[in-house]
Structure 1
């Protein structure tokens, strides 16, 4: 073979390698997704979200979730037609922190949330468990193939010792519900009970709190609450995660009498927002309880911060407002 022929052959081979490396040969699938798989499932998920391929949850009806309610032996609420959310409050526990008797709605409100996507369902949730229950719950979740994605506390000082564990799984929704029920059986979480016909009065200056927060709160079981989603879309790369999966900032006020309140809740933040929120809370005399993640591969990467303080309700609301302003929250509806 002549030197010129060898050069021509080498050039052809180099071109072919470039084409194959670019994932452009017929039958190689989406170039972005194929490239991403070199970095594993999380890289593939990130690429899918970047190229607008993350699936949104499907619209469903209450009837669609009856088999899940039956498997759990608990009913939930269908939120915006997509997320079936089952409350799991610890009404059985008498928890105190810094001399305050904690109402379930302030800090002890666990939940399980289900949504259907194109090929399978997703389960996300937060279980409130005692320290004695935690090992048994962990074993039951693992046996059922349900991941634990976070384990932390919401309160600085507590008696008895309580833990919060976040969960995640994909699959058949009834099978997920049965697996979750096995974990609930390892706890003393009470059976579901109907909501009261009327809400108890809230002994707080709620109008002043609303004005300070810049939003309208709602009464729930004697607790005055704000649930605020982020303005950005959150995914796990392959699935859009709606706010009802717990991807919200929650601000809760428990009346203590004389317009005083205990506040507890959860800020959801991106990494650049974390220090701004810490500084704003501490400037207002609000204690930091925990800083952690709830999910393993959310995008954007989100961090959650629990807080605690007691004092005049409106004063506390004013102290919270700069921290809220430091995060990218959805506009007021």
Structure 2
């Protein structure tokens, strides 16, 4: 073995020992290993001694954004961040918010889910913004290094999208035929239930119940999952809404993204309901039967996660 190779191995071992030592030190002090997080993400962060939180941030200054005629500086809220705080034992909690353009949302979401992170909300923070900006909230609980690696993968995926197209795209890939002439029968077979039809379109609705202020609310009050199809059997679009308990959200997200269906919003429609219900809005393009199978798979995943 050459002396250069031996020196290289010693250097690698030394780095590993230092990283382990810093992790132990951070655990003993009840803090997170800030240096390791910075090393993994390639971003410098700040530490709040009062809250024991280490936060990295990444300003969105790669695309010019105007909101209500104002050219938005990142300081005004156009910034992504991930914050890390010690939890139980050696575990760390991570929470973050990611500023995204429309064509980045679903690639970034898939990157987060594939990396073991949770996606907890997706919504807008502005009106009259050009191009449109959305914010995807992420979270996780576990090893700090793995959480930081997940955040890095999300940011890298965003950079890949922008590298391929400097300007945000204005539409999802794929075609939607017009006028609509969806065949109901094959979709009813997929869902195992009858649906509604109107002017060549098809819709299926699945209701559930919750309680608000002592009153039971259900399907007709808007507590439901639905899928509506337009276009033709070969060039269709599906849009809809999933009503879910919090514990069902991640399973539905993973299933929908695995089927290539785009998530466009995650939020609540009510307050003080029991159990708490989240709503997920989506949009997909493709063959009608394939889209129906994707939605049905998410319904099955939701059902399985509720057990």
TM-score, normalised with respect to structure 1 = 0.38
TM-score, normalised with respect to structure 2 = 0.41
Structure number with the bigger relative contact order (C-alpha 8 A, sep ≥ 6) is: 1
Higher strand share goes to which structure? 2
Bigger Cα Rg:
1
